[in-house]
Amino acid sequence: MPGDRSLATHAASTGRRFICRPRPARDEHVLSYLLRLGVMNGYSGHPALGRFVRSIQASLCRADEVATVAQLVDLDVCILHELLGRHRRVPGVRTSSLYWATHYFFRDPYIAYCPACIGERGLFRAIWNFRAIAICELHCVWLVERCPQCTELVGWDRPGPTSCKCGFDLGQTETTPAPIEAALISKQISAAVLEVAETDLIEQQLFCTKVRRMSPLEWLAVSNFLSTIVTRSHHFHPTTKSSLETEKRATILAAELLRASPTSAMHELNRISQSHLVGWKPLLISFEKLIARAPTRYLNRRRGAMALPAFLTELVHQYVDDLTVYREGRRFAVNPDRLEAGSDGSLAISIRRATSIGSSEARSQRESISLGDLIQAIRQMNIVLHSTREAEELIGATSRQRLALIRVGLLHRFDGSTFVLSSEIDRFLRWLRDNSTLTTDLSSMVRLSELTPMSCLGFQRVMTAVIEKRVRLFRRVEDSVTFGTCFVAKRSLATLVR
C-alpha cells in the first residue's frame, strides 16, 4: 500500500473492499481490531501489517474519512466512532477539552496487556490503555508491558494481533497473581470508566461509600496523585518510557489508603510521608519541610479538572493539621518518621517508660503517647521557633558569635534550617548560667559580647576552653544571663593567646 496515500483514497481508486470483517468485541481497543482486520484480509508479516495499521489509523484521525472507513470494514459509523474513542473516553468529561490528559491518563503509544486474556480471546482490551489500570480484574493478575523475549515495550507496530514485533506470542507470557485488595481497586476503576455499577460484598466491606461513588475522573486523578507520590515527582506523564512498575505500586498504595477506616487511612498517609523522611530523627521538623515531603504538596499542583475527591483532599489536609504544632508565625510540626500506629490504630509516639535502674526487663518497656497528647504537651511547654536575629538578641550575641556557638556544638539550629527553637535557647542560657561564677569585682574582665567580631576564631577558642573547663566565666548576681552580662578574665585571654 503506498505510504503517501490514505486508506480511504487508496480504496476508492482500487475498489478494494475487505472480504473478512470480524466483529469488534465490546471492550476491544480500536488498534487491536485493526490488527485482526488486517491479518484476516491478507496483510501478513511485520512491514505489510504495520503499513496497514498506520494507514487506517491516519484515516480514522480525519473526521471526513471515518464514514469511508466504516463502509470499508462494513461497520455502522456509530459503532466505529464508539470503538475509536473507547480507549480514551472518560465518562462525563469531554476528552477534547482535556489535552493534558493524554500525558497523565493514557499509555499511548504503548500498551499493557494481560497474557491470560490474549491467550483466551486473541485481542487487546481498550481499558488497558488507562495508566490507572495495572491489574486484569478478570484474572486477578498484574498486567505486563514488555515482551519477555526481547524485553521491549509492546506497541502496535507488530506482525500479528497477539505477537510481539520479535515474533513472540504474547499470550504465552508468564502471569503474576495480584493481591485481591489491589485487584478490587482496578475493578472499581474499570467499573467507573466503563460505567458499570456493580459491586460485590467484598468491595462493600473493604471500601466506604465515598470511595465506591468516586467518578471516573476522580479515580484517574487519585491514581496519578499516588503515582507522583511513588515517584517523588511533581509530574508523572512518562509517555515514552516504562511506567507500569510505578502504576503497580500506586495501585497497592490505593488499596491500603482507601479503606473504610479513617484511622487506617491516617496511618497510611503517615507511612507515605515516612518514605520521604528516611533518616530524619529529630522529633520536631519545620512545617515547610513537612509540606515538601507530605502528600499535601501535590494537592496544589493539580491541573485543570484533575482534582482529587473532596473527602481525600480533606483527609490529607487533616493529617497535616494533626502534625502541626503551631499554625501561626514560623510553624513546625511533629516528624512523621517518629510516629507509629497506636494500640487503637491512631498515630502515636513510642517512648521508653521511666523505670528503676537495675531492672533490665523494666527498662525495655515502652509507652505509647497519642499524637494529640504529644502536641498538647509541646504547646503547654510554649516552645516556639525563633529566627536567627531573634536568637541573637535573646542570647546577646552577634551573628559571628552565633555561628561560632553552632560550630562548637553549644547551639543547634532547628531541623538543619536557620531557625532556632526557644527550648534550645533556654538550654544554652542554662548552660551559660551553670558555667559562670558569681562575682562583685569585674575590673579586670572583658564582656563576652565585646570580643571583637574580627577575631571570630578567638571567640570560638574561648568558648571551647570554657567547655573544657580551662577558662571560667563570671557574672554579677543581679544580672540576667546573656553574653552581655557574662565576662572572662583578661589573664585567661592572655593564656589562650600563648
Listed by start position, the domains of the chain span: 7-172, 398-497
User: What's the grid cell of residue 492?
Assistant: 585567661
H-run or E-run covering 141: strand 141-142
Rounded mean pLDDT, 323-346: 83
- Asked if the model's pLDDT at residue 13 lies above 60, the reply is no
- Hey, how many other C-beta atoms are within 10 angstroms of the C-beta on 389? 11
Distances (CA, A) of 377 to 319, 342, 371, 383, 481: 19, 18, 10, 10, 27
Percent of the chain's residues with pLDDT above 90: 13
User: What gap in Å lies between CA 35 and CA 157, rounded to an integer?
Assistant: 9
User: What's the grid cell of residue 53?
Assistant: 495499521
Pairing of strands 445-447, 487-489: antiparallel
413 and 399 in contact (C-beta within 8 Å)? no
Query: What's the pLDDT band for 42 if we cut at 50, 70, 90?
Result: confident
The number of angstroms, rounded, from the C-alpha of 16 to the middle of its chain's C-alpha atoms is: 53
pLDDT of amino acid 362: 47
- Out of 142-156, 361-375, 381-395, pick the least confident: 361-375
- Out of 133-137, 143-147, 352-356, pick the least confident: 352-356
Q: Which contacts of 409-413 are long-range, i.e. CB under 8 A and separated by 24 or more positions?
A: 410/463, 410/467
User: What gap in Å lies between CA 120 and CA 116, rounded to an integer?
Assistant: 6
- Asked if the model's pLDDT at residue 240 lies above 50, the reply is no
Rounded mean pLDDT, 366-382: 85
Helical pair 388-395 and 422-434, crossing angle rounded to 10 deg: 20
Query: What's the pLDDT band for 238 if we cut at 50, 70, 90?
Result: very low
User: What's the grid cell of residue 426?
Assistant: 533556654
pLDDT of amino acid 308: 81
- Asked if the model's pLDDT at residue 200 lies above 50, the reply is yes
Task: Decide which of 345 and 405 is more confident.
Answer: 405
- Asked if the model's pLDDT at residue 267 lies above 80, the reply is yes
Which of 141-155, 231-245, 289-303 is modeled with the greatest confidence? 141-155
User: What's the grid cell of residue 226?
Assistant: 499516588
- Asked if the model's pLDDT at residue 440 lies above 70, the reply is yes
User: What's the grid cell of residue 189?
Assistant: 476503576
Contacts for 264 with CB less than 8 Å, ≥ 6 apart: 256, 345
Rounded mean pLDDT, 203-207: 69
- Asked if the model's pLDDT at residue 130 lies above 60, the reply is yes
pLDDT of amino acid 48: 67
User: What's the grid cell of residue 111?
Assistant: 500498551
User: What's the grid cell of residue 287?
Assistant: 512545617
134 and 252 in contact (C-beta within 8 Å)? no
- Out of 79-83, 89-93, 110-114, 303-307, pick the least confident: 303-307
pLDDT of amino acid 498: 58
User: What gap in Å lies between CA 223 and CA 371, rounded to an integer?
Assistant: 29
pTM score above 0.75: no
- Asked if the model's pLDDT at residue 348 lies above 60, the reply is yes
493 and 462 in contact (C-beta within 8 Å)? yes
- Asked if the model's pLDDT at residue 480 lies above 50, the reply is yes
pLDDT of amino acid 193: 85
pLDDT of amino acid 5: 43
Rounded mean pLDDT, 457-467: 83
